[in-house]
């Protein structure tokens, strides 16, 4: 196979970026039309706005409104090339990466491969769980929920109906909480009209959290308020409760509670997406150990940013949290340092500017923690909506998301209840 993959050799230093997530695209955007040759590699040809995946899964937004073509993002960048491929191995000895389409040489390598699901002790049955890490996952979940409701119409056995329409979510971080809230709204305002033949008062939505609070990274006030919102929507929140088994559609907790649910959604944990080739001593807990300059320990020209990097500080002994804001800031910081390298200037060590966090639990229900204030309710919900719309890439995506939410707000409807590709769970 052609080792150059139609990539022209130039006098410019070549930066290879693995991953088109938040960290990777911010780095590439900052280096657009600068004196580097930048090669961006991703197995998909689009960037996914992951914070809104749950909206796709719960019929609130089209998949296309939270995805953006990577080639379009850089179509006016003369120095940036995109190759759609899966990176199989890093070969530091020869400064190249092995991909599904051939090997690519680099002067500097930036690993921004993001994160993947951490199923912990459930790895052996992961195919029975419904994850939420990609557009495909969200579409599969959307189809699976609707398919189960269609199946429920075909049986007169109440126990079978309840098993098909019950939903259990493991993990009460932002994704789990927002998903539970959206499903609670659907149960109350949407599904009764589509499935009037079913007694949806029997539908149960369970949210399980092994720790003592939901939204553990947020303030106690916001956590308590979010739990109150979920309860108002009919979601049963289980704290200090660990799911220990899932077999034959029966979920069992460490307290001996058994719940029948065909839909088990997994949002309980993520881990860095490690690529073979880096020495084990440079890896900590499925993340690459990096200094405050994002350089992988033991390597001079290999960097890691975003979810896959473990940048250790006194405040964050396991590395910064896996958040989009951290990834974006690390991407911008590394880009600035590459430019400083060209100019012979000193490198700037990374300093995380935590702007706060937020989560929505449904219409007019959201919680916001800023560095100087915490608030909840309708204003928090409008702020959440504004921030997420502005964060989407592309004017079309912003417009579609805005009008979609306005439509949902005034009609109490979620129009995208489509089974485009039927999903069959293993």
| Cβ burial, residue 309 (10 Å; 0-12/13-18/19+) | buried
With a cut of 50, say whether residue 24 has pLDDT above it: yes
Residue 386 located in a structural domain: no
CA angle 360, 364, 369 (to 5 degrees): 45
| Whether residue 155 sits in one domain with residue 244 | yes
In this predicted model, what pLDDT tens digit does every residue of 85-110 receive, in sequence order? 999 999 999 999 999 999 999 999 99
Q: Give the chain's end-to-end CA distance (angstroms, integer).
A: 35
Last residue of a domain, one of 205, 235, 268: 268
| Whether residue 252 sits in one domain with residue 134 | yes
> How many domains does the chain fold into?
2
Cα–Cα distances (Å) from 425 to 157, 205, 262, in that order, read: 22, 20, 10
With a cut of 80, say whether residue 349 has pLDDT above it: yes
| Whether residue 190 sits in one domain with residue 259 | yes
| Whether residue 330 sits in one domain with residue 212 | no
Q: pLDDT-based confidence at 298, cuts 50/70/90?
A: very high
Q: pLDDT-based confidence at 423, cuts 50/70/90?
A: confident
With a cut of 80, say whether residue 135 has pLDDT above it: yes
| Whether residue 310 sits in one domain with residue 231 | no
Cα–Cα distances (Å) from 137 to 66, 172, 251, 286, in that order, read: 13, 18, 21, 22
| Whether residue 154 sits in one domain with residue 239 | yes
With a cut of 70, say whether residue 153 has pLDDT above it: yes
| Whether residue 230 sits in one domain with residue 296 | no
The answer to whether the CB of 259 falls within 8 A of the CB of 166 is: yes
Last residue of a domain, one of 310, 343, 376: 343
| Whether residue 150 sits in one domain with residue 102 | no
Give the residue among 167, 170, 186, 184 at the shortest CA–CA distance from 132: 170
With a cut of 90, say whether residue 395 has pLDDT above it: no
| Whether residue 261 sits in one domain with residue 130 | yes
Position 411 scores a pLDDT of: 78
**Where in the sequence is the domain holding 298, given as residue range(s)?**
14-43+85-117+271-343
Which residues 6+ apart lie within 8 Å of 219 measured at CB? Answer: 369, 374
With a cut of 70, say whether residue 3 has pLDDT above it: no
Position 426 scores a pLDDT of: 66
Give the residue among 51, 98, 117 at the shortest CA–CA distance from 267: 117
The answer to whether the CB of 178 falls within 8 A of the CB of 363 is: no
Q: Whole-prediction pTM value?
A: 0.93
With a cut of 70, say whether residue 373 has pLDDT above it: yes
Instruction: Indicate the average pLDDT of the chain.
Output: 93
For residue 314, the domain's CATH number is: 3.50.50.60
With a cut of 60, say whether residue 275 has pLDDT above it: yes
Position 4 scores a pLDDT of: 57
Position 2 scores a pLDDT of: 40
Position 1 scores a pLDDT of: 36
* 169, β-bridge pairs: 207, 265
Position 408 scores a pLDDT of: 82
Share of the chain above pLDDT 90, in %: 83
Last residue of a domain, one of 292, 321, 343: 343
| Whether residue 147 sits in one domain with residue 126 | yes
How much is the average pLDDT of 118-124?
A: 91
| Whether residue 240 sits in one domain with residue 179 | yes
Instruction: Say how many CA atoms lie within 13 Å of 344 toward its Cβ.
Output: 0
In this predicted model, what pLDDT tens digit does every residue of 156-210 receive, in sequence order? 999 999 999 999 999 999 999 999 999 999 999 899 999 999 999 999 999 999 9
| Whether residue 299 sits in one domain with residue 189 | no
């Amino acid at each position: 196979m052609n080792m150059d993959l139609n990539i022209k050799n130039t006098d410019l230093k070549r930066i290879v970026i693995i991953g088109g997530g938040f960290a990777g695209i911010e780095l590439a955007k900052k280096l657009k039309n600068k004196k580097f040759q930048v090669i961006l590699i991703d197995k998909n040809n689009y960037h996914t706005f992951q914070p809104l995946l749950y909206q796709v899964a719960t019929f609130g937004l089209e998949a296309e409104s939270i995805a953006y073509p990577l080639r379009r993002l850089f179509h006016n960048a003369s120095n940036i090339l995109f190759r759609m491929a899966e990176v199989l191995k890093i070969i530091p000895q020869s400064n190249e990466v092995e991909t599904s389409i051939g090997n690519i040489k680099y002067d500097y390598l930036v690993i921004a491969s993001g994160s993947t699901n951490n199923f912990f002790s459930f790895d052996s049955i992961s195919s029975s769980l419904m994850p939420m890490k990609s557009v495909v996952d969200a579409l599969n979940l959307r189809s699976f929920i609707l398919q189960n409701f269609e199946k429920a119409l075909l049986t007169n056995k109440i126990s079978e109906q309840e098993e098909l329409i019950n939903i259990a979510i493991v993990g009460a971080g932002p994704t789990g909480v927002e998903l539970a809230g959206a499903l609670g709204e659907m149960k109350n305002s949407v599904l009764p009209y589509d499935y009037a033949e079913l007694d949806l008062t029997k539908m149960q939505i369970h949210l399980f959290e092994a720790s003592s609070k939901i939204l553990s990274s947020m303030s106690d006030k916001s956590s308590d308020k979010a739990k109150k919102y979920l309860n108002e929507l009919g979601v049963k929140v289980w704290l200090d409760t660990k799911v220990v088994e899932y077999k034959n559609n029966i979920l069992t907790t460490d307290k001996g509670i058994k719940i029948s649910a065909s839909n088990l959604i997994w949002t309980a944990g993520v881990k860095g997406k490690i690529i073979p080739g880096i020495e084990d001593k440079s890896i900590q807990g499925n993340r690459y150990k990096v200094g405050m300059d994002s350089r992988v320990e033991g390597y001079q020209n290999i960097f890691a940013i975003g979810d896959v990097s473990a940048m250790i500080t006194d405040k964050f002994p396991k590395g910064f949290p896996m958040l989009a804001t951290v990834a974006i800031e690390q991407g911008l910081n590394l880009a600035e340092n590459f430019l400083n390298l060209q100019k012979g200037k000193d490198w700037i060590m990374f300093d995380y500017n935590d702007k706060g966090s937020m989560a929505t639990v449904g219409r007019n229900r959201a919680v916001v923690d800023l560095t100087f204030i915490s608030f909840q309710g309708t204003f928090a919900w409008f702020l959440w909506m504004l921030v997420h719309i502005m964060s989407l890439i592309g004017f079309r995506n912003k417009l579609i998301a805005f009008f979609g939410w306005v439509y949902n707000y005034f009609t109490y409807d979620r129009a995208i209840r489509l089974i485009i590709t039927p999903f069959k769970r293993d």
